[in-house]
Structure 1
Amino acid sequence: MGLLVTPAAAMFLHKREPQQSQQDRHRITADLPFAADLMTACLQAGSPVSAATEIAANAIGGPLGERLAWVSSQLRLGADPEPTWAILAKDPATGALARAMSRAAQSGAPVADVLTRLADDARESARAASVATARSVGVKAVAPLGLCFLPAFVLLGIIPVIAGLASTIVLP
C-alpha cells in the first residue's frame, strides 16, 4: 500500500504551487488594475513609459511593484521593450500586462488606451471571480444542511408514517 501511496503523494506535492507564489499571484491580480490606471494617468500627463512604470512600481510596491521596477530600470538603461516585457509574460499574473505592453511597443499603438482596456478587463475578471466564489459558497452550504436535515426528516417524518400504515395493515 505504501508503495502506491508514496509516489502519488510525491507527485501531488511536487505539482502544488508554493504558498508564497500563490499569494504573490493573488496580490498581483488585485493590484494590476490600479497599476494600469496609474500608468495611464502618467502617460496621459506626458511621461515616457519607463517613468510611468517606475511611478507605478513605487506606488504599488509588493510583488507587482518589484516586477515593474525591474522593467522600468531595464527600459531606462535602453533595453528593447519587447524582450523586456516578454520576460514578464512568462508569469501568468503579469502576462496580460506584458503582452499588452509588448504589442503596443511593437505596433506603435497608444499605450494609454491599451492600459485602460487592460485595467477594465482586470476589474471585470476580478468581479466575475468574486461572483463565482459567492455562488460556490451557496452550493457548498447545501451539503452540510442536507446531511443534517435529511436524516432528521426521514426519522421524524417518513418512518412514523410508514410505521402507522404498517400497524394498520398488520393488525386488522
Structure 2
Amino acid sequence: MTGVLVGLAVGYGAHRHLVRQRGAEAVRSAAAEVRAELAPAGDLLAACLAAGAGPRESAEAVGRSLDGPVAERLRQVAAELRLGGEPAVVWPRLAALPGAEGLARCMERAGISGVPAVESASRIAAELRAEQARTATAQARRAGVLVTLPLSACFLPAFLTLGVAPVLIGLAGGLLGRN
C-alpha cells in the first residue's frame, strides 16, 4: 500500500514538473521567435521610413509583408493609428513583445514629434541582429560542451579500465614482489 501511494505521489510530482517545464519551453520558444523576427522588421521599417512613409504607413506595410507575432502586432498598431489612436498609447503595444522596446520607442517618438527615425530604426535593427548572433554563438558553444559529456562518460571509464588499470596492477605486482 505504501509503495502505491509513493508511486502515485512521485507520478503526480513528475507530471506537474513536466507541465511546468513544457510551459516554460513554450514561453522561451515564443520569445525566441519574436526576437528572430524583430531585426528584419526593424530593417523594413527603416527602409519604409527612408522611402518617405510615416510611422503608421511603415508599420502597415511591414505588417502586411511579414508573418508572425511581430507582423501581427504591427498590423494592430497601424490599424489603431489609422483609427485615430494616440502614438503614445498605441506604440507601447509593440513594446510588450520581448526585445521590441527600443523599436517601439523609436517609432513612438517619430509618430509624436515627427523626428526622423530612419537612423535610429536601422541602429536598433543592427543591435537586434548582433544580439541574435551572440545568442546563437552562445547556444553553439553550449551544445559543444553538452556533446562532450556523453563522450567523457563513455571513454573515460574505458581508458581507465583498459589503459591505466593494467599499468597499476603491473606496478603493484612488482612492488609487492610478485612477478
Q: Same fold (TM over 0.5)?
A: yes
Residue 67 (structure 1) aligned with residue 73 (structure 2): yes
Separation in structure 1 between the aligned mates of residue 49 and residue 19 of structure 2, nearest angstrom? 44
* Gapped regions of structure 1 (runs ≥ 5): none
What is the CA distance between 1:146 and its match in structure 2? 0.9
Q: What residue ranges of structure 2 are gaps of 5+ in the alignment?
A: 1-5
| Deviation by residue 1:76-97 (Cα, 9 ceiling, x = unmatched) | 1111111101122223143332
Matching residue of 1:165: 171
Equivalent residue number for residue 54 of structure 1: 60
Paired with 1:51 and 1:104, the residues of 2 have a C-alpha distance of 12
State the TM-score, normalized to the length of structure 2. 0.81
Q: Does 1:43 align with 2:49?
A: yes
Corresponding residue of 1:84: 90
Which structure 2 residues correspond to residues 11-22 of structure 1 after superposition, within 5 A? 13-14=19-20, 16-17=23-24, 19=26, 21-22=27-28
Alpha-carbon distance in structure 2 between the residues aligned to 1:149 and 1:168: 28
Distance in 1 (alpha carbons) for counterparts of 2:67 and 2:20: 30
CA RMSD between the two structures: 2.6
- SS at structure 1 position matched to 2:91: helix
Structure 1: distance between partners of 2:112 and 2:65: 27
String of CA shifts for 1:114-155, please: whole Å, max 9, x gaps: 210111011100110111111111111111111111101111
Report the count of equivalent residues.
171
TM-score normalised per structure 1: 0.84
Matched, 1:152 2:149: no
Partner residue of 2:142 out of 136, 140, 149: 136
Structure 2 residue identity aligned to 1:84: V
CA distance in 2, matches of 1:65, 1:13: 29
Structure 2: distance between partners of 1:132 and 1:86: 30
SS in 2 for 1:17: helix
* Residue-by-residue CA offset, 1:35-89 (whole Å, 9 max, x unaligned): 1111111111111111111110111122211110000111111111111011222
Shift, 1:34, TM fit: 1.4
Task: Give the structure 2 partner of residue 95 of structure 1.
Answer: 101
Match of 2:35 among 10, 29, 44: 29
1:146 and 1:8, CA in 2 relative to 1: closer, same or farther beyond 3 A? closer
CA distance in 1, matches of 2:12, 2:97: 31
Candidates 123, 132, 148, aligned match of 1:126: 132
Q: Is the 8 A contact 1:88 1:95 kept in 2?
A: yes
